[in-house]
Amino acid sequence: MTTDTAAADTSPAAWRVVFACFVSAVFAWGFGFYAHGIYLVELQRAHGWSTGFISSVVTMHYVLGALLLPRIAEAIGRFGPRTVFLAGLSITTVSLMLLPSVTEPWQLVVLYIVMAPGWNATSVAPIAATVGQWFDRKRGLALNLALSGATLAGLVVTPVLLAAIPALGFATAERLLVAVGIVLAAGAVALFVRRGPLSPRPATVRLNRLAPLREWHFWSIAAPFALVLTSQVGFLTHLVPLVISRSAVSGAAIDPALAVGINAVTALVGRIMLGLVIDRLEPRRASAICFLVQAGAIAVLEFVETPLAVYSACAAYGLAVGNIITLSPMIVQREFTADRFPAIVALSTAVMQTLYAFGPGLLGVLRDASGGYTVPLAVCMGLNLTASALILMRARRPA
């Protein structure tokens, strides 16, 4: 271990960077990921727009952002992570503040286009690249802690927003929470995020940006995670309307806020459990187990409608949710050299996001065409089962 690596892994400044990334992840995932299901319901209620249309706009948003991810990795190398994070948080905030005011479909499209670079400047790849500048030996633990903010977002932001809307109305509730969130996130980033001692040269990122696309080793990681994230993003985007539909069919009172909260709590529990042992696990096998746990939970939701069964399925599904976004960078760290880590993570995240971007739109179109969520859930289960097989097809490790 070099002096720089040892210093980075033990520096108090390094753990302050982890904290800032954690707070930024709460904001990014809370308002730019989990809340899409709430936006869908509120926009339908206000304007009567179809599930398929709104979900397709979300899909477009993710695809556009995926195309920008390699450039964002370059921007981190050139301008530093603090500048990139603050720019992303600002763009996202402006878009979210304007969201309740949209009255025409084209306005929604424009806002989601604008929001795309903001979300991607504060999500998995930038967080992994930033943490990677400060940690080597303890990178798995540090990355897991930073991305725990994504899990906490589902536990805090979504339930609070759902609870505030009846009292304040959608526009006031959403804007108030976004205002609180941006003060906390931007403040933490401005105070603590900076370049680390393990920061790669910008030229390294540029030279390696597209080369991995020719390697099966790269695709043996990107492909299965892309499939399972297509299922996961689609599922979580539609979780609120899915639970509402289950309640309508069964006639039982199934609270969507409670379902989302249970999912988020178990996601946090699962992430903490994995964090304790993540640097000692074989990450491909752990990934396959997570994929199968989600498939089992989806199967339960496919065939049952009672409140206890729905809540239990949401709990089981949540155990794997938070770990999915951590395990992919962990495999990259184990199987690629340190100098390639930022470029590989950025490119693999771009590939994954390009595919999983179609999750919300795909499930929305299938739901509209079939009149319910039976077919969408079957598709999600099939994607998880396929991914669990692919992730175990280990590529030969390069010499």
Q: Which residue has the higher pLDDT, 1 or 304?
A: 304
> Which pLDDT band holds residue 252 (cuts at 50, 70, 90)?
low
Structure tokens at 157: 């932001």
What is the tens place of the pLDDT at every residue in 130-182?
888 887 777 777 888 888 888 788 778 888 998 899 999 999 999 999 999 99
Percent of the chain with pLDDT over 90: 28
> Which pLDDT band holds residue 205 (cuts at 50, 70, 90)?
very low
DSSP 8-class letter at 305: -
The answer to whether 73 and 205 have CB atoms below 8 angstroms apart is yes
| Model confidence at 9: pLDDT above 60 | no
- Region 324-336: mean pLDDT is 82
Lowest mean pLDDT among 35-44, 50-59, 283-292: 50-59
| Model confidence at 249: pLDDT above 70 | no
Q: What is the pLDDT of residue 173?
A: 93
Query: What is the Cα–Cα distance from 139 to 162, expressed in whole angstroms?
Result: 35
- Give the list of residues 6+ apart from residue 146 with CB closer than 8 angstroms, or none: 18, 21, 22, 25, 127, 131
> Which pLDDT band holds residue 204 (cuts at 50, 70, 90)?
very low
Structure tokens at 15: 């753990």
Q: What's the chain's average pLDDT? A: 83
| Residue linked to tokens 């179609």 | 358
Query: What is the Cα–Cα distance from 121 to 84, expressed in whole angstroms?
Result: 6
The answer to whether 21 and 130 have CB atoms below 8 angstroms apart is yes
Q: Which residue has the higher pLDDT, 123 or 188?
A: 188
Query: What is the Cα–Cα distance from 296 to 292, expressed in whole angstroms?
Result: 6
**Residue of 197, 195, 212 whose CA lies nearest to 78:** 195
Q: What is the pLDDT of residue 367?
A: 86
Map residue 193 onto helix, strand or coil: coil
Query: What is the Cα–Cα distance from 385 to 65, expressed in whole angstroms?
Result: 27
Lowest mean pLDDT among 59-63, 113-117, 271-275: 271-275
- Region 72-87: mean pLDDT is 86
> Which pLDDT band holds residue 1 (cuts at 50, 70, 90)?
very low
H helix intervals, the chain = 3-10, 12-29, 36-47, 51-79, 81-98, 105-120, 124-132, 139-168, 170-192, 202-207, 216-237, 239-250, 256-277, 283-303, 307-335, 341-356, 358-370, 374-390
Structure tokens at 229: 């994230």
> Which pLDDT band holds residue 218 (cuts at 50, 70, 90)?
confident
- Region 265-281: mean pLDDT is 78
> Which pLDDT band holds residue 210 (cuts at 50, 70, 90)?
low
Q: Over the range 194-218, which residues count as b (16 or more CB within 10 Å of their CB) and which as e?
A: bbbbbbbeeeebeebbeebeeeebb
Query: What is the Cα–Cα distance from 295 to 266, expressed in whole angstroms?
Result: 16
Percent of the chain with pLDDT over 70: 91
- Count the alpha carbons within 13 Å of 367 in the hemisphere toward its beta carbon: 24
Map residue 391 onto helix, strand or coil: coil
DSSP 8-class letter at 208: T
Q: Which residue has the higher pLDDT, 349 or 190?
A: 190
Query: What is the Cα–Cα distance from 154 to 26, expressed in whole angstroms?
Result: 8
Domains of the chain: 3-390 (1.20.1250.20)
> Which pLDDT band holds residue 8 (cuts at 50, 70, 90)?
low
Alpha carbon 321 to its chain centroid, in Å, reads 9
Q: What is the pLDDT of residue 176?
A: 95
What is the tens place of the pLDDT at every residue in 331-365?
887 887 766 777 788 788 888 878 877 787 788 88
The answer to whether 345 and 69 have CB atoms below 8 angstroms apart is no
- Region 270-299: mean pLDDT is 85
Q: Which residue has the higher pLDDT, 271 or 182?
A: 182
Q: What is the pLDDT of residue 10?
A: 60
- Give the list of residues 6+ apart from residue 102 with CB closer than 8 angstroms, or none: 43, 108, 111
